[in-house]
Each structure stands twice: as C-alpha cells, then as structure tokens.
Amino acid sequence: MTNRYDTGMQVRRRILGDAHVDRAEAAKTPFDLPFQTMITEGAWGTVWASDKISDRDRSMLTLALLAALGNFDEIPMHIRATARTGASKQDVLEAFQHVAIYAGVPRANHALKLAKQTYAEMEAQDTTQDTAPSGDK
C-alpha cells in the first residue's frame, strides 16, 4: 500500500473511530477493494488529511454537501464523527440552515431529521455505557 493509504487509514480511524473502520474493513471484498482503496487514499489520505482547514470545518462542509446533494446515507456516519471532529450540534444546525437557503428546505429538513435521530442514538448509547457495570464498558 502507499503512504497516502496508510495516512488515509490513520485519519479515517481518527475521524470515524476504530469500531467503524474495523466493521468497514471486515466487509471489504475483492470486488470493492479498488473502490475502498481509492476512498482511503483520496478522501481520507488526501482531503481529510490536509491541515489547511480544521476537522471541525471539514466536518460541517461534508455534512452540508451531503445534505445539499441528497446523499443522506452517509449523514449519520458523519454526525457520529462530530464527536471526534469538534463540530457541535449548533455547528451542524448552522450548516443545515445554509443548506436550506442554498439547496432547498426539503433536503435540509431530511438531514436535520437524520441528525436528530443519530444524536439521540449517540446519547442513548452514552447513557447505556455510563450505567453499565465497570467490567462491561
């Protein structure tokens, strides 16, 4: 593998978390290996690895672009990533308000619905982990 691939995997793990990346890696097949390599090198090893803007800003840009283009499947994954990128709920709301004005209310509305569901899941998971016996965490 290339340096960009290795960098991409490090950045991907930093932004999405080990559990997510481990699941994605386990699901790879020979059929989608070239695509997964391209994403790891291009998206994570080049774009997300750049230090020209912060992870927080890149997170908000990504969420806004996904919503504006109607690519809703990846919004929950990137909402979960905000826990690592530093983008707050308010930041996400502001990004989706921009989407409403510049790309359409229905897309922003659906993105907000997904964000609310994902934040609720994250909070429920945090609550469950906080109440679990110490050996179960």
- Which pLDDT tens digit goes with each residue over 7-25? 999 999 999 999 999 999 9
What's this model's pTM, rounded to 2 decimal places?
A: 0.89
* Longest alpha-carbon distance in the chain: 49
Which of these CATH numbers, 1.20.1290.10, 3.20.20.70, 3.90.1150.10, 3.40.640.10, describes 53-130?
A: 1.20.1290.10
Q: Which residues of the chain have pLDDT under 50?
A: 135-137
pLDDT of residue 137: 38
pLDDT of residue 95: 98
pLDDT of residue 132: 54
Contact partners, residue 114, CB within 8 Å, separation at least 6: 72, 75, 76, 79
Taking the domains of the chain in order of start, what are their residue ranges? 1-52, 53-130
- Best CA proximity match to 63, nearest among 35, 87, 32: 87
